[in-house]
Amino acid sequence: MEQGHLEILAKTLDDIRHQNGVECWYARELYPLLDYARWENFETAINRAKDSCRKTGANVDDHFREVTKMVGVGSEAKRPVVDIKLTRYACYLVTLNGDPKKEAIAFAQAYFITQTRTIELLQQRMAELERIDAREKLKVTEKEFSDMAFSRGVDGRGIGEIRAKGDEALFGGKTTDEMKQKLGVQPKKPLADYLPNVTLKAKDLATAMTIEKTRQNNLSGKNEIRDEHINNNENVRGALTKTGIYPESLPAAEDIKKIEARHRKETKALQKKQRDELGQAAKKLDSDS
C-alpha cells in the first residue's frame, strides 16, 4: 500500500472517530474502509472479536454496543438499521480476526493498537505484525509436517534431520548451525525467530509443498520424505535467487520474541486505557444523574 494511501486511510479513520467519554467507531462506517464488500462478512469478524474479548475477561457489552440508527432509503423514507459502537480495543480485536491478506486490515491493526499516528511508525508496526503472523504460520506448518512424517514412519530424530537438510537446500549449502553463527543466534534458540519475513514465508511454502507432495505420492520413511523436502527447498530457493534474493545473505531480523513482548505490552496498555476511559465515563454518568 502506497504511503499516500496510508495517510488517507489514517485520516479517514480519525475523521470517523466519535468521542463521548470513550472514543469509538461505528461498525457500518468502518467496514468499507477495511475493504469489506458485505456487511455480513464484517459481522463474522465482529463475532469472532467478541469471542476474543470474552477470553481476555473483558465485558463484551462495554466494547461492542449494539445501537439502532434510522437511515434514509429514498423519497425521504427511513428505516431502522442495526449498528455496533466499537471501542478502540474492540476495533483492534476485529482487525485481529479479520482477513490478514487485506492491506487495509493490516494497517488498521497497527492503527488501533498504536497510540502514535506517524505513518512511518505505523508502517514499521505493520511489518512487525506481518512477521509475527508469518512466524506463527510457520510453526503451524512445521507441526503439521512433523505429525505427517511421524505417521509415515519417521521418528523425532529423523524429522530433525529432514528439516536440517531442508535448511541446507534453502540456504545454499549452509547448515542450520552455520546460519545461526552467521546471524549471531545462540545455539539453543530457533533460527526462525531471527529470520526476515521473506525467509519465513519461503520456509513455510517449502514445508507446505513437502506435506502436499508426500500425501500425493504416498511417500513414507525418512529417505523419501527427506529427498522431497530437499527438492522443494531447492525450488523455492531458485524462485528467490531469480529475483536476486539469497536467503543466506539476508541480515538477521530482530528476535521475534522481543517483538511479541512489545505487542503484548501494547495490548495490555490499550486494555488499561480502555478500562480507565470506561470507568471515568461511568463515574461521569453517575454524577450527572
Question: What confidence tens digit (pLDDT) does each residue in 128-151 have?
Answer: 988 999 999 999 999 999 999 999
Note whether 239 and 151 are same-domain residues.
yes
CB 228 within 8 A of CB 214: yes
In a domain, 270, yes or no: no
Q: Evaluate whether 226 touches 161 at the Cβ level (below 8 Å).
A: yes
Domain identity same for 154 and 99: no
For residue 73, is it within any domain?
yes
pLDDT higher than 80, residue 75: no
2 exposure class (CB count in 10 Å sphere: 0-12, 13-18, 19+) = exposed
Where among 117, 151, 173 does a domain terminate? 117
Q: Are residues 58 and 109 in the same domain?
A: yes
Report the predicted TM-score, pTM, of the whole model to 2 decimal places: 0.82
Least confident of 29-33, 228-232, 250-254, 275-279: 275-279
CB neighbourhood size of 123 (10 A):
15
User: Are residues 81 and 136 both part of a single domain?
Assistant: no
Give the residue numbers spanning the domain of 167: 129-258
- Residue 289, pLDDT > 60, answer no
